[in-house]
């Protein structure tokens, strides 16, 4: 009888232990970052399986990014970059085999507005409404490496993209004046191309604006019609030849010059010990070819070059001006 009681007690203890183990397995993960996983004496440390899960395992409502880094912050930035890559200029949603699945019944999703607001941008869209799905740390002989899985709702991205293209809904081509048409084309040509890419990105995410796309495509045709018949001549002395070449690449080259762009510059040099400096100002005037004294648009570009010699300082200042000119005209000429 005593033996049966002892056996019954042992059986109850075994069942209790089994129930406790199962309950612990079903308990949802409360924190996305766990203690670093360490390898035993005869084994290699390994990442959890979610790190290697295929993209197809994810719900289609979000874009996902998996990042690695020496710190959790660095891993987050890498993961955000992965998300940004999926909103590419060609609107190709990239598939990342290393992205992981965050099952709603296996883990508690940690929402995070990323207090500093991500500075990473793609096509002018800010990546916000970031959700941290999973995180882990791996201890290796080289130190601790972190992995973070982030998700961004497609709806949030579409909304941000729409905010960027909304001003183009009321943009209109000036049909009444040829000079105004050319100035308009110079100002908006690149912006219209960017807006079309934004709309295609929205469409790839399921939030396309067909009417807006038709309007943008018509505006693009209007720009192209001006580009084919109107020319812009850059006028400057020989010392500014490198700048003339860089600026001319952004301008229409038709033989019928409607606008002149004149470049003038001022330079100041100085040195302090073995350090040389050159301050350079380049003034850009836009005038009708028919009345060159009339200034339609004017901007001043400034740079301070430095180097171990006067020639190095001069080259540095010139390169800075070239970099400024290489930006879209809407960024610097029409501001």
Instruction: Please tell me the predicted confidence (pLDDT) of residue 131.
Output: 92
Looking at the domain assignment, is residue 149 inside a domain? yes
Tokens, residue 282: 């380049």
Closest-CA residue to 296 (of 305, 304, 308, 287): 287
CB-CB contact of 248 with 234 (8 Å):
yes
Pair (57, 156) in one structural domain? yes
* SS3 label, residue 92: coil
Task: List phi, psi (to 5°) of 29.
Answer: -70, 120
- Write the DSSP string, 252-275: -B-SSEEEEEEEEEEEEEEEETTE
User: CATH code at 262?
Assistant: 3.30.160.150
Instruction: Please tell me the predicted confidence (pLDDT) of residue 37.
Output: 54
Instruction: Please tell me the predicted confidence (pLDDT) of residue 141.
Output: 80
* SS3 label, residue 103: coil
User: What span, in angstroms and rounded, lies between the C-alpha atoms of 149 and 135?
Assistant: 6
Looking at the domain assignment, is residue 9 inside a domain? no
User: What span, in angstroms and rounded, lies between the C-alpha atoms of 27 and 109?
Assistant: 14
Structural domains of the chain, count: 2
pLDDT band at 29 (very low <50, low <70, confident <90, very high): very low
User: What span, in angstroms and rounded, lies between the C-alpha atoms of 202 and 220?
Assistant: 19
Task: List phi, psi (to 5°) of 242.
Answer: -60, -35
Residue 258 clears pLDDT 90, i.e. is over it: yes
Looking at the domain assignment, is residue 2 inside a domain? no
Looking at the domain assignment, is residue 15 inside a domain? no
Q: What's the mean pLDDT in 34-39? A: 50
Residue 77 or 34, more confident: 77
Pair (54, 147) in one structural domain? yes
CB-CB contact of 196 with 217 (8 Å):
yes
Residue 18 clears pLDDT 60, i.e. is over it: no
Instruction: Please tell me the predicted confidence (pLDDT) of residue 14.
Output: 44
Residue 135 clears pLDDT 50, i.e. is over it: yes
* SS3 label, residue 192: helix
Strand partners, 151: 64, 131
Q: What's the mean pLDDT in 9-27? A: 40
Q: Of 129, 161, 193, which marks where a domain is finished? A: 161
Pair (67, 156) in one structural domain? yes
Residue 172 clears pLDDT 80, i.e. is over it: yes
- Kindly report the pTM of this predicted structure: 0.71
Q: What's the mean pLDDT in 263-268? A: 96
What are the DSSP E strand ranges found in the chain?
62-69, 110-111, 121-122, 125-126, 131-140, 143-153, 231-235, 257-272, 275-288, 297-307
Tokens, residue 109: 């999703």
Tokens, residue 273: 């010990």
pLDDT band at 38 (very low <50, low <70, confident <90, very high): low
Pair (241, 150) in one structural domain? no
Pair (251, 154) in one structural domain? no
User: What span, in angstroms and rounded, lies between the C-alpha atoms of 111 and 32?
Assistant: 11
CB-CB contact of 226 with 185 (8 Å):
yes
Tokens, residue 122: 């793609």
Query: Which residues have a Cβ under 8 Å from the Cβ of 228 and sit 6 or more positions away?
Result: 252, 254
Strand partners, 146: 69, 137
Looking at the domain assignment, is residue 34 inside a domain? no
CB-CB contact of 288 with 258 (8 Å):
yes
Residue 98: exposure state from Cβ atoms within 10 A (0-12, 13-18, ≥19): middle
Q: Of 138, 161, 184, which marks where a domain is finished? A: 161
Looking at the domain assignment, is residue 187 inside a domain? no
Looking only at the bridges linking them, the beta strands covering 143-153 and 62-69 are antiparallel
- Tell me which residue range forms the domain holding 298: 231-332
Token pair 């469409």 is at which residue? 203
Instruction: Please tell me the predicted confidence (pLDDT) of residue 95.
Output: 32
Looking at the domain assignment, is residue 141 inside a domain? yes
- Buried b or exposed e, range 160-179, using 16+ CB within 10 angstroms: bbbebbeebeeeebeeeeeb
pLDDT in tens, 69-92: 999 999 999 998 888 888 754 433
pLDDT in tens, 53-69: 876 688 899 999 999 99
Instruction: Please tell me the predicted confidence (pLDDT) of residue 125.
Output: 65
Q: Of 161, 195, 222, which marks where a domain is finished? A: 161
């Amino acid at each position: 009888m005593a033996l049966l009681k002892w056996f019954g007690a042992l059986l109850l203890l075994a069942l209790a232990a089994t129930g406790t183990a199962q309950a612990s397995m079903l308990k949802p993960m409360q924190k996305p970052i766990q203690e670093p996983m360490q390898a035993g004496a005869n084994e290699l440390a390994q990442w959890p399986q979610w790190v290697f899960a295929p993209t197809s395992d994810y719900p289609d409502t979000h874009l996902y990014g998996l990042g690695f880094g020496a710190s959790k912050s660095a891993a987050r930035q890498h993961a955000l970059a992965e998300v940004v890559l999926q909103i590419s200029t060609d609107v190709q949603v990239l598939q990342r085999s290393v992205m992981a699945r965050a099952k709603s019944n296996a883990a508690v999703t940690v929402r995070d507005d990323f207090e500093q607001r991500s500075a990473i941008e793609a096509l002018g869209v800010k990546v916000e409404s970031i959700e941290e799905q999973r995180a882990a740390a791996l201890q290796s002989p080289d130190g601790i490496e972190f992995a973070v899985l982030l998700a961004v709702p497609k709806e949030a991205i579409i909304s941000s993209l729409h905010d960027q293209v909304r001003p183009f809904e009321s943009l209109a081509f000036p049909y009444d004046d040829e000079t105004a048409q050319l100035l308009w084309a110079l100002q908006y040509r690149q912006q219209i191309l960017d807006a079309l890419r934004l709309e295609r990105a929205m469409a790839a995410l399921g939030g396309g604006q067909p009417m807006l796309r038709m309007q943008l495509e018509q505006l693009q045709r209007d720009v192209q019609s001006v580009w084919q018949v109107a020319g812009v001549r850059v006028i400057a002395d020989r010392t500014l030849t490198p700048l003339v070449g860089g600026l001319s690449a952004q301008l229409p080259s038709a033989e019928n010059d409607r606008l002149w762009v004149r470049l003038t510059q001022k330079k100041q040099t100085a040195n302090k010990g073995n350090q040389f400096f050159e301050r350079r100002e380049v003034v850009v005037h836009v005038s009708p070819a028919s009345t060159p004294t009339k200034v339609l648009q004017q901007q001043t570009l400034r740079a301070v070059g430095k180097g171990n010699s006067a020639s190095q300082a001069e080259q540095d200042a010139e390169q800075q001006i070239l970099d400024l000119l290489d930006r879209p005209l809407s960024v610097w000429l029409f501001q």
